[in-house]
Structure 1
Amino acid sequence: MTSEAAAVEASEPVRRRYSFLGPAGTFTEAALAQVPEARGQVWHPVHNVGEALDDVVSGRSHAAMIAIENSVDGGVSTAQDALATIPGLRIVGEYLVPVDFVLVGRPGTTLDDVALVAAHPVAYAQCLQWLTRTLPSHAHIPAASNVASATGLVEGTSDADAAIAPPGILEHHDLELLATSIGDNANAVTRFVLVSRPVAPPPPTGADKTSLIVELPDDHPGGLLEMLEQFATRGINLSLLASRPIGDELGRYRFVIDADGHIHDERMADALLGLRRFSPQVVFLGSYPRADRAVVHYPDRYSDDVFVEARDWLRGLISGEPDPQ
């Protein structure tokens, strides 16, 4: 390489790498496409959530996009458990992707030709009413993923006549579109989160969310209520509360929490201090803008000014200042 070529190469910016559940055409890829700073960078497809997060922890990837919650099926347990047990991770953004499915076949296929349908079991369950109405005599072949159901047709490794797949599959493979919007729930949405190594939270926007994982100190009556009071007494609404087994013995659970607000909000910071005193294990996953950009509303008595004034009042008492009337 000449010195001139080396100088040009050295001057070119280093492209960041983003891991996502592949291959191309998945809902996860559609979520990553919503990230402005990921455009024009290297997108690295992986096989599972663990591989994606390991890329981040090891430094092989700048960040990873993973599914965390579905409006029909609830929380994605593999993702929640991974975030609870793998140290050194932060959620830096969330993105919503409508769960819309299409039915595809090999070129030249028609609906009348379809008797055997390949689909991931979850996708199949979410399209079962449509399939029953439209193809009442069909049979189902389980597929490893939403994309694998379709690529099996292209590669000739599947005996199916058609496949249920994400709409993005048509951008990557030559397939016949047999039907669109075949999901039984038109409002189905999957929530994805972009995960990086620990960084300072972005400034609050007023439409923010804070994600945590909290363990109870022991099993006793009212233990969960005591944890929830850390939020309720500070006017903080929870948009997600899910339990996951810790795994060391029966009856031991950790709680996955999404709380409305930002760590820079006085009420949220105070709640985190309360949780830290209460729980043996609090995992702060991050404060970040809500995907729906819905402004967080709360009563005036929980405004930042109220918390600041109360602390100033206490400092005055400790220092011997006259109690203001």
Structure 2
Amino acid sequence: MSETYSYLGPSGTFTEAALAQVPEAAGKPWRSVNNVGEALDDVVSGRSVAAMIAIENSIEGGVSATQDALASIPNLRIVGEYLVHVQFVLVARPGTRLEDVRVVNAHPVAYAQTRTWLDTHLPTHGHIPATSNVAAALNLFENDLADAAVAPPQIVQHHDFEVLASGIADNAHAVTRFVLVSRGGAMPGPTGADKTSIIAELPEDRSGALLELLEQFSTRGVNLSLLQSRPIGDALGRYRFVIDADGHITDERVADALLGVRRFSPKIVFLGSYPRADKAQVQYVPRYDNEVFIEARDWLRGLITGEPEA
């Protein structure tokens, strides 16, 4: 079996920084890919044991390309999540000055997160979209269409760039959440600080359908940390929902909630249960403790079998 790990490259990306947080990946081959689809194809085909992909940003929200890919490719599992603080620098070819900049290369998400700084310091600049943050910078060496690029700070560790400005992100607290995705199989055991991810479709477009889906969690005391809709694409008004629930599938309250969703939803994709990146212990009220669910099942079993009540 391959021990290679795939990530959105080339070297210097935030995705590479996330993969560097994975102890199991240390010293193993890393494969740079061009997009999420290629990364997941590596996993499905066995070229890689796992792939690191971005799934959510604290400014822009969920990464739609990742969510849609996970909804359509079967037998994938999220086995861990990792957080990377997102900062940007403005880089240029050596010898370029800030006042020389007329056009800027930038990935659309990075451009949105640095727009205020750029409009303030380069009010007449033009923008050329790039496929990744690192590609935005490397394009400066491939052509002269742009004078500068918005890029990750670590880019200067790999390439010879002039740093025209640092800390240009509009929000200094921006964080991107990455997930490590592997093939289906054994999942990480419960730690008490876990997250469970699923994608579920509504049975029909009608009043109250979403509420019924959410009630599967609320009536079991399961908190949701992410709820995002994505169009299924086959008709207007048809949506699937990306859901992150606090807890592990082996927690009785989470398992019972998933059973409720399975009965309700025409299609549910289980993406995995895995440790939270922040290691925060999941909080819940005592009436949703594991023992309460177990006792309730024992009580029902006793009624069915005719056991005398205590």
What TM-score do the two structures reach when normalised by structure 2? 0.96
Q: Quick one: percent identity of the two aligned structures?
A: 72
CA deviation after TM superposition for structure 1 residue 314, in Å: 1.1
Q: What is the distance in 1 between the residues matched to 2:47 and 2:66?
A: 19
Q: Deviations over 1:175-221 (max 9, x none)?
A: 11221110001111111110000122211111100000111222232
Q: Who is 2:157 aligned against? A: 171
Matches within 5 A, 1:25-104: 25-104=12-91
What TM-score do the two structures reach when normalised by structure 1? 0.92
Q: Who is 1:285 aligned against? A: 271
Moved >3 Å (runs of 4+):
none
CA deviation after TM superposition for structure 1 residue 267, in Å: 0.5
Q: CA-atom RMSD, angstroms?
A: 1.4
Kept in 1, the 8 Å contact 2:2–2:48? The answer is: no
Q: Deviations over 1:52-93 (max 9, x none)?
A: 111101111100111111111111111111101111100000
The structure having more radius of gyration, on CA atoms, is 1
Where does structure 2 lack aligned partners over 5 or more consecutive residues?
none
Residue 222 in structure 1 maps to residue 208 in structure 2 = yes
Residue 21 in structure 1 maps to residue 21 in structure 2 = no
AA matched with 1:194:
L
Q: 1:257 aligns with which of 225, 243, 246?
A: 243
Kept in 2, the 8 Å contact 1:102–1:167? The answer is: yes
Q: 1:233 aligns with which of 200, 219, 235?
A: 219
Q: What is the distance in 2 between the residues matched to 1:99 and 1:151?
A: 19
Q: Who is 1:6 aligned against? A: none
Q: Who is 1:205 aligned against? A: 191
Kept in 2, the 8 Å contact 1:15–1:42? The answer is: no
Matches within 5 A, 1:291-310: 291-310=277-296
Matches within 5 A, 1:93-242: 93-153=80-140, 155-242=141-228
Q: What is the distance in 2 between the residues matched to 1:229 and 1:223?
A: 10
* Mean CA deviation greater in 269-278 or 291-300: 269-278
Kept in 1, the 8 Å contact 2:130–2:136? The answer is: yes
The count of corresponding residues between Structure 1 and Structure 2 is 310
Kept in 2, the 8 Å contact 1:15–1:41? The answer is: no
Q: Deviations over 1:156-188 (max 9, x none)?
A: 413322211011211110111221110001111
Q: What is the distance in 1 between the residues matched to 2:125 and 2:223?
A: 45
Kept in 1, the 8 Å contact 2:2–2:46? The answer is: no
Find the residue that maps to 1:127 and give its secondary structure: helix
Q: Deviations over 1:133-161 (max 9, x none)?
A: 223343333333211221122x2413322
